[in-house]
Amino acid sequence: MEVLVLGSGAGGGIPQWNCLCPNCVRARLEIKEKKEPFSLRRTQSSIAVRAVGEKWVLLNASIDLPTQLSREPELAPPGIEIRSSPFSAVVLTDAQIDHASGLLSLREGKDIELLCSESSWDLLSNSYPLIRILSSYLEIKKATFPFKIGSLLFNALNLGRSVPPYAQREPRPDDVIAVSIEEESGKKIVYCPALPEINPQLEEFIQESECVFIDGTFWSENELCLWNIKEKKASQMGHVPVGGENGSLNWLSSLKIPRKIYIHINNTNPMIDPDSAQAKAVALSGVEIAYDGMKLLL
């Protein structure tokens, strides 16, 4: 299986257009100085996976999708027809604006096989009606878990009630899901860019994986409060922080999974700076930090 990280930042990316936090300021400096490769810059999170010889499957469609596609030659349209999509399907882990809005950029295609939870389908049909809007441009085919795309089997685990702020209804258990992608050989990876809580069901779900992508949004519970950005704590926003006794790093370091990778990293998270103590603590625990363009062959 091949995995390509199209974007590794949380909503807003790095630098975020209206942000003057240290990471955003440094990321702008890297751009100004034309530093390559960029160490801090991140577009909004999304990955593509494929079994060797098959089409790509897109996991979450960020608003940065056109930029991400234009810089990845491997995602050029395949085949000899004048128009063709590199994707056989799109999978969504929730219906947040930064994970779903990229669907709009796929409207020039013929159809989209869309695999998501009932909650996300409902939110994107009603509160934020991308599906309704897109249906005027192309056919949206609804798929439900478990679902086989080519030789890859997609499964989901409900992670909990955490609706986007725009939702016009009560939260549901399948608002946020983790998605596993399994080859016929049994090799499996898990994509989990939003983690509202760590529980035994998740631990069972990711067991025997070759690789897990985990929510790395915030380092600490009150990261946004410290910068006076928001009153809300990380856990109130549906993200277990990386650091601290009950953080995800402690938990991940105890798991025997060959590759553990943080993704969906917010610009305020100090670990995004490779020279920070936090980045060093992550590396010491055997966990990696995703970057745009990261490639894995599993």
End-to-end CA distance of the chain: 5
CB atoms inside a 10 Å sphere around CB 284: 10
**21 counts as binding Zn ion under rule CB under 5 A:** yes
Q: How far is the CB of 40 from Zn ion (least distance, A)?
A: 10
The SS3 assignment for 199 reads coil
For 139-160, give one letter per residue: b (16+ CB within 10 A) or e: ebeebebeeebeebbbbbbbbb
Of the residues 120, 267, 269, 278, which one makes contact with Zn ion according to CB under 5 A:
267
Q: How far is the CB of 99 from Zn ion (least distance, A)?
A: 5
Radius of gyration of the chain (CA): 18
Of the residues 11, 77, 171, 244, which one makes contact with Zn ion according to CB under 5 A:
11
114 CA to centre of own chain: 16
Q: How far is the CB of 207 from Zn ion (least distance, A)?
A: 25
**98 counts as binding Zn ion under rule CB under 5 A:** yes
CB-based contacts of 44, cutoff 8 Å, min separation 6 = 7, 9, 10, 11, 12, 13, 62, 63, 64, 98
**181 counts as binding Zn ion under rule CB under 5 A:** no
Q: Which stretch binds Zn ion (CB under 5 A): 5-13, 68-76, 218-226, 269-277?
A: 5-13
Of the residues 24, 51, 181, 240, which one makes contact with Zn ion according to CB under 5 A:
24
Closer to Zn ion at the Cβ: 39 or 253? 39
Q: Which stretch binds Zn ion (CB under 5 A): 93-101, 148-156, 254-262, 281-289?
A: 93-101
Draw the binding track, 183-212, toward Zn ion (x: CB under 5 A; -: no contact).
------------------------------
Q: What is the DSSP letter of 188?
A: E
**62 counts as binding Zn ion under rule CB under 5 A:** no
**19 counts as binding Zn ion under rule CB under 5 A:** yes
Q: What is the dihedral of CA 7, 9, 10, 16, to 10 degrees?
A: -110
List interacting residues with Zn ion (CB under 5 A). Answer: 11, 16, 19, 21, 24, 96, 98, 267
